[in-house]
């Protein structure tokens, strides 16, 4: 498959955080026919809308990024909605791509699909060795079900699908609304606002002992583009930076880069989430040559600068 020239791409979620960065990467590679599916025009949880979208666009390559996501708070408050929305969107996109014989479909999974106590670093082979961490299990299981769907369709119909497992993503364009934000935008917002008010301290969820791995959005977009071009296998692939950081160190780094000099007050009554997260990224490097380029401090600095300059936009996004 010639992945760029003379191909019509459909990117669901293409106007969103990751999707915007990906569309830039596709354009850089010479893709001139990229259609972005927007939620205001098509409800991907509704099968007739998905059928209409594919009929109107007639895509040759589909990259499915659309998802309903949120941090620990959103996962605790809306588990059923997160489960059914993500399951239906992916299911309908996979089936419509099969029915219309789309040349290639790229699916974005989630690190939340891994078992709660997966040995570190997470290897793709460990994906089925236990149940996900409880606070994000509905979202993680829904996404993992799409891997089963993709592998089953490949085996029975020869449908060409690939499945990518990104770690926690961050960067300019992220969601800073408290209802849906993840840990990095939530901490940046707290620190910037506390600095402006002159607060002596801020509250932070959990103990700070849990660890996470983060991938800058431009690196994630590059990884998806490379996989679209070079990868064709039923096996899932981790996308990450390979850099594990305790939440306590992350919060202290964000406070320093934001200029907040007050105290971080940890609230152990709030959940930490999964104890540790970091990925083995060997398969991505070996299979399609991806390695992350943007370090955490550099990426955080860019993200903080973007938030300060685009605060109204950053805090408006709720889906």
Rg of the chain over all Cα atoms, to the nearest angstrom:
19
Do 240 and 281 contact (CB within 8 A), yes or no? yes
For residue 101, give every residue at least 6 positions away whose Cβ sits within 8 Å of its Cβ, in sequence order, or none: none
Task: Note if 157 is an active site residue.
Answer: no
Best CA proximity match to 169, nearest among 271, 272, 240: 240
- Measured in whole angstroms, how far is the alpha carbon of residue 77 from the centre of its chain? 20
Q: Of 92, 114, 139, 231, which one is the catalytic site residue?
A: 139
Give the integer Cα–Cα distance in Å for 123 and 282.
Answer: 9
Do 116 and 133 contact (CB within 8 A), yes or no? yes
Burial group, residue 245, by CB count within 10 angstroms (0-12, 13-18, 19+):
middle
Burial group, residue 243, by CB count within 10 angstroms (0-12, 13-18, 19+):
middle
Burial group, residue 48, by CB count within 10 angstroms (0-12, 13-18, 19+):
exposed
Give the integer Cα–Cα distance in Å for 238 and 280.
Answer: 7
Strands 244-246 and 211-216: antiparallel
Best CA proximity match to 243, nearest among 211, 283, 208: 211
Residues recognised as catalytic: 139
């Amino acid at each position: 498959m010639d992945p760029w020239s003379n191909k019509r791409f459909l990117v669901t979620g293409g106007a969103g955080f990751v999707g915007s960065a990906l569309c830039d990467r596709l354009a850089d590679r010479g893709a001139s026919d990229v259609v972005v599916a927007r939620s205001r025009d098509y409800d991907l949880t509704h099968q007739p809308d998905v059928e209409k979208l594919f009929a109107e666009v007639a895509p040759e390559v589909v990259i499915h990024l659309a998802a309903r996501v949120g941090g620990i708070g959103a996962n605790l408050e809306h588990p059923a909605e997160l489960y059914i929305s993500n399951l239906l969107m992916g299911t309908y996109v996979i089936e419509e791509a099969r029915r219309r014989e789309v040349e290639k479909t790229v699916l974005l999974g989630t690190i939340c699909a891994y078992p709660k106590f997966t040995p570190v670093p997470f290897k793709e082979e460990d994906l089925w060795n236990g149940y996900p961490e409880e606070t994000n299990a509905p979202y993680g299981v829904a996404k993992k079900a799409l891997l089963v769907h993709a592998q089953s369709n490949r085996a029975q119909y020869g449908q060409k699908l690939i499945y990518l497992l990104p770690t926690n993503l961050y960067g300019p364009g992220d969601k800073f609304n408290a209802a849906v934000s993840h840990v990095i935008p939530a901490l940046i917002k707290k620190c910037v606002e506390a600095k402006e008010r002159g607060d002596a301290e801020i509250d932070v969820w959990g103990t700070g002992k849990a660890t996470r791995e983060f991938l800058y959005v431009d690196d994630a977009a590059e990884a998806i583009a490379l996989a679209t071009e070079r990868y064709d296998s039923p096996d899932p692939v981790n996308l990450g930076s390979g850099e594990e950081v305790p939440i306590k160190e992350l919060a202290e780094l964000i406070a320093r880069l934001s200029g907040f000099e007050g105290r971080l007050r940890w609230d152990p009554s709030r959940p930490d989430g999964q104890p540790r997260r970091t990925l083995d990224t060997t398969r991505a490097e070996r299979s399609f040559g991806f390695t992350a380029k943007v370090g955490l401090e550099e990426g955080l600095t860019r993200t903080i600068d973007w938030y300060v300059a685009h605060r109204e936009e950053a805090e408006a996004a709720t889906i």
